[in-house]
Structure 1
Amino acid sequence: MSPTPPLTRRAIFAQAWPIMLGQATVPLVGIVDTAVIGRTGDAAALAGVALGGTIVSFLFWSFGFLRMGMTGLTAQASGRGDTDEVSALLARGLAIGAGMGAALTLLQVALIPAAFAIFAGGPAIDTAARAYVSARFFGAPAALAVFAINGWLLGLGRTRAALALQVWMNLVNIAACALLVWHLGLGARGVGLGTAIAEWSALLVGLAIVAPQLRGIGWARVADRAALARLFAVNADIMIRTVALLTLLAWFANAGARLGAETLAANQILMQAVALVAFVLDGFAFTAEARVGHAIGAESRAQMLRAIRLTGEFSLGAAILFAVLIAFGGATAIPVMTTNPAVQAQALALLPFVIVLPVIGMPAWLLDGIFIGATEGRSLRNAAILATALYIATDLALRGHGDTGVWIALTLSYVYRAGALGAYVPRLLRRLA
């Protein structure tokens, strides 16, 4: 049986800070990509990267269960002391991720036209977005396999290894995008190619990190039908949950695109700040995933309750800190991101929404981590579907209020999601009563 890790504030922070640092580099890449295009002053190109990024995120993160389901299942196997299953989960995740990514690459000839038939843009925006999306698809097999590696590392609490992998991928991404856009003049296509190159490099580094765990693995255990059935059952619900939330974000991006290139570009800039907050606070949510999963594997209700309380304390404090930082620094950061006066004005007008979002969104992000660690796929699925439906209804009701209505609906979506997941908390606690 694996030893139970300590559940102290110091231990929680020691586990969370590498995730926070690594996660912070994820939106920083988006910020750099946005700035690389934004500094050209071309609103259509910036809007194209925003729209293309939404499409790629929708398609790739539909398979985000490879990260989330892997974390919860690995943590529970570790809590039971089942080292063979820990290794088998890694092999299953890599095989499924690479296979599904290859299928995405092959199907892009049908998926890309279908995506642009749904999203509103316009000729100039669509041209840039198509160039970005087609380039990103070359990295699909690597991207999905890296999802599995990251989820497995986080499930074991190996957050420093996950940090190293994330930082490597993002540094390569930043360097490649700057080279391809500024020096080779490839525009939106260069941003997409830079990210694809970074994903393949990250897969090579990730395989080097986990290679010892794959040596001597029993492949009969990897192909165990019961384990595969559980993996797909958990992941099917998480996939539906992820698609629902991606639909929400895609609807938000499309709402901005409907209002014009300047509005879409302004929303893209503001969403970089939202993404930065969400990804950094995910440091505590991911820690909650591992700790809750370990507690369930060890059948310890006391561990689970303490894990929820400690990660909740840290999450709330960090959310308040971010709100203060955005309130004082947001107006200074926007002109750095774009030189277009119309885009700057639009982003400044909507900045108050970004200031309040850290505190409003924090409960939803933390609850996601708790339920992912518990592999409560049905709760996650149902809450996401309900929150997305309520969000779309709110957005439609506020169509007459322009981009302000778009941001009000997005803000309320986090309230809907937290409330829906909160309703399932008593049932989760009864699981270890």
Structure 2
Amino acid sequence: MTSGASVAGQTTSLPAANQRTVWALAWPIILSNITVPMLGLVDTAILGHLDDVQPLAAVAIGAQIFTLLLWSFGFLRMGTTSVTAHAVGQKGIDNSLPLLQQAIWLAIPVSIFCIIAAQILTPLLLPLFGDDPTLHALTADYLTTRFWGIPVTLLQYCLIGWFIGRGETRIPMLMLITANLLNAGLDYYFVWHLHMGATGVALGTVLADVGALTIALIAALQRDLTLRLPLPDRAILKRMIVINRDLFIRTLTLLIVFASFAALGAAQSTEVLAANAVLISLLLLISNALDGFAHAAESLVGRFLGAAQPQQMRRAIQLTGINSLIAAFILVGLFVLAGDHLFRLLTDNEDMLPRLQEMHLWLWLLPLSGVASYWLDGVMVGAQATASMRNSMLAAAALVFFPIALLPGQLAAWSANGEVSANTLLWLAFHLFLLARAAFLIPAIRRIVQTTQK
């Protein structure tokens, strides 16, 4: 079934949900998303081969704080994808431009708020990551530079979400690959030739983001976006705000978990913080690779929902889930084959390598622990079931992660090597948190499927 709903005399025609359709949407996102954590791995490798481990730790802390401030507003990406995909299915691709324009209107006050919040919150958050004044100074320098790129990052969210919602995933691919290649080259030049350390990494990231935004704006202008935006549309903005409110709470909760994870690692030692940062960089590689099918689910589920094609929507949910699971097993196999060689590519610091070698199992399990939650998030965004996303995230954090992660002292008392045991407990909490996110979404996915069968 490829014909959709009739709206105002116009029939919206959509391709059927099959492997070809899923992969046409997923492969550009997979390819581009892999470059995102690859950039983090390049940063880790560049800084990890310095004699001093503190620049790497500073970037780990600074990236967590920047992410806490900015990714809380990742709803600009997901919310824009959701409403755009629904509009494309309901009214056709030519009627999606107003959604991008209204998303940009939302990004303007959010940018102002983030810049102000960054200045206020940074001095309050740094003490959570240990009491080393030198490390705090390096982190503050990194953040001062990154904050210049706040408006650029938020506008990228809007444009990427719009293109994914339209099913034009090759544009985000071009944006992200270009940006990350620029970032890798600039980071190497700033750190190794200009000796700018953590600040050089931040500057390279900002300049690369400007390059990605330029590509996105050129592509949007070719699709009739005008630099002179129409006045805000209250009806569209109200609908976007309702969706984005739930996504904001969901994303903020996730980022609090990540920040707490980093802070609890820093409380053990700088070496533990840095070793955990390496695995978190690899987690970003995993999540971004698997998100290709999640983004495909967002676009397909949203468009089939808007076009009133429930059978195709269920088929899209099934296919994206199967492909996500296959991809997760492939990632596990690659990590097992890589073994210690992967860690040695990222750092030759003799204090960190033994810690990383003890953490193989946690790395190997990450794709399997996270795959269901990443895929289901995509389905929920497409179905505009954002309240379920919010509730599952809150429950997983409050009932699973924090009760386990905040007990390292007790486990340390049972072990002769308390520091390692504390970090083991921290990683156990994180894996169970990923599994719980998916488990708490199962009732919601059942409701969606049952509703479309009526």
TM superposition score normalised by structure 2: 0.92
> 8 Å contact 1:323–1:355 — kept in the other structure?
yes
Q: What displacement does 1:117 show?
A: 3.9
In structure 1, the residue matched to 2:3 is none
2:431 to 389, 399, 411: 411
Which residue, out of 10, 27, 38, partners 1:28? Answer: 38
Q: Which amino acid aligns with 1:288?
A: A
Distance 2:223 2:101 in 1: 9
* Compared CA separation, residues 98 and 168, structure 1 to 2 (3 A): farther
For 2:416, the equivalent position in structure 1 comes to none
Secondary structure of 1:133's counterpart equals helix
1:2–1:79 CA contact under 8 A, matched in 2: yes
1:122 is aligned to 2:125: no
Residue of structure 1 in register with 2:165 after alignment: 155
Give percent identity, aligned residues only. Answer: 34
Q: In the alignment, which of 143, 158, 161 is matched to residue 133 of structure 1?
A: 143
Rg larger in structure = 2
User: Is 1:93 matched with 2:103?
Assistant: yes
SS in 2 for 1:2: strand
Residue 45 of structure 2 aligns to a residue in which SS?
helix
Partner of residue 310 from structure 2, selected from 277, 301, 305: 301
Matches within 5 A, 1:12-51: 12-51=22-61
Counterpart residue number, 1:283: 292
Determine the C-alpha separation between the residues in 1 that align with 2:103 and 2:20: 31
Q: Does the CA contact (< 8 Å) of 1:247 and 1:388 recur in 2? A: no
1:12: Cα distance to partner?
Answer: 1.0
8 Å Cα contact 1:288/1:307 also seen in 2: yes
Which letter does structure 1 place at the counterpart of 2:107?
Answer: G
For the residues of structure 2 that align with 1:315 and 1:255, how far apart are their CA atoms?
31
CA distance in 1 between counterparts of 2:73 and 2:343 reads 32
Q: Which residue of 1 aligns with 2:275?
A: 266
Larger CA deviation: 128-137 vs 231-240: 128-137
Q: 1:60 to 1:226 in 2, by over 3 A?
A: same
**Any conservation in 1 of the 2:105–2:232 contact (CA below 8 Å)?**
no
3-state SS of 2:351 partner: helix
SS at match of 1:41: coil
2:204 equivalent to 1:184: no
| Aligned-partner Cα distance in 1 for 2:148–2:26 | 32
- 1:395-430 CA-partner distances (Å, limit 9, x unpaired): 123443311111111111111101111121122224
Deviation at 1:101, TM superposition (A): 2.1
Match among 35, 53, 70 for residue 63 of structure 2:
53
Offset of residue 189 of structure 1 = 0.7
After alignment, is 208-217 or 29-38 more displaced? 208-217
CA deviations on 1:161-218 (whole Å, 9 max, x unpaired) are 1100111111111122111111111100111111111112221221101013344699
Give how far 1:56 is off.
0.5
Question: Which moved further from structure 2: 10-19 or 136-145?
Answer: 10-19
Determine the C-alpha separation between the residues in 2 that align with 1:31 and 1:215.
35
Match of 1:318 among 327, 332, 352: 327
In the alignment, is residue 342 of structure 1 matched against residue 335 of structure 2?
no
Residue of structure 1 in register with 2:417 after alignment: none
Q: Distance in 1 between matches of 2:408 and 2:287?
A: 25
- Preserved CA contact (<8 Å) 1:154 1:290: yes
2:271 is the alignment partner of 1:251: no
8 Å contact kept, 1:121–1:257:
no
Is the contact between residue 93 and residue 166 of structure 2 (CA under 8 Å) also seen in structure 1? no
The answer as to whether partners of 2:69 and 2:118 remain within 8 angstroms in 1 is no
Mean CA deviation greater in 115-124 or 147-156: 115-124
SS of alignment partner, residue 5 of structure 1: coil
Q: Which residue of 1 aligns with 2:4?
A: none
Moved more, 389-398 or 412-421: 389-398
Closer/same/farther in 2, CA of residues 51 and 219 from structure 1, 3 Å limit: closer
Tell me the secondary structure at the aligned position of residue 17 of structure 2. coil
Q: Which moved more, 1:379-388 or 1:222-231?
A: 222-231
Other-structure match for 2:212: 202
Conserved? CA contact 1:45–1:187, under 8 Å? yes
Shift of residue 339, structure 1, vs aligned partner: 1.6
Find the partner of 2:446 among 419, 423, 426. Answer: 426
Taking the aligned partners of 1:421 and 1:365, their CA distance within structure 2 comes to 11
Match of 2:242 in 1: 233
Contact 2:243 2:384 in 1 (8 A): yes
Query: Residues 217 and 132 (structure 1 numbering): CA distance in 2 closer, same or farther, change over 3 Å?
Result: closer
- Secondary structure of 2:440 counterpart: helix
Q: TM-score, normalised by structure 1?
A: 0.96
Instruction: Name the stretch that deviates more: 86-95 or 343-352.
Output: 86-95
Displacement of 1:6: 2.5
For the 8 Å contact 2:12–2:307, the answer to whether it is kept is no
Structure 1 unaligned blocks of 5 or more: none
Kindly provide the amino acid, as one letter, of the partner of residue 331 in structure 2.
Answer: F
Aligned residue identity for 1:28: M
Deviation at 1:225? 1.3
How far, CA to CA, are the matches of 1:276 and 1:218 in structure 2? 37
Code of the residue aligned with 2:58 in structure 1: it is G
Following the alignment from structure 1 to structure 2, what is the Cα–Cα distance between the partners of residues 91 and 213? 12
| 1:357 equivalenced with 2:366 (yes/no) | yes
Aligned to 2:6: none
- What residue in structure 2 maps to residue 3 of structure 1? 13
Distance 1:121 1:289 in 2: 42
Judged with a 3 Å threshold, the aligned counterparts in structure 2 of structure 1 residues 271 and 121 are, in CA distance, closer, same or farther, namely: farther
2:233 to 224, 233, 244: 224
Distance of aligned partners of 1:215 and 1:357 in 2 relative to their CA distance in 1, 3 Å threshold: closer
Distance 1:3 1:32, change over 3 A: same
Partner Cα separation in structure 1 for residue 297 and residue 124 of structure 2: 37
C-alpha change, 1:335 and 1:215, in structure 2 (3 Å) is closer
Deviation at 1:94, TM superposition (A): 2.1
Partner Cα distance (2:426, 2:117) in 1? 32
Return the match for 2:387 from 378, 396, 412: 378
The offset of 1:144, in angstroms, is 0.4
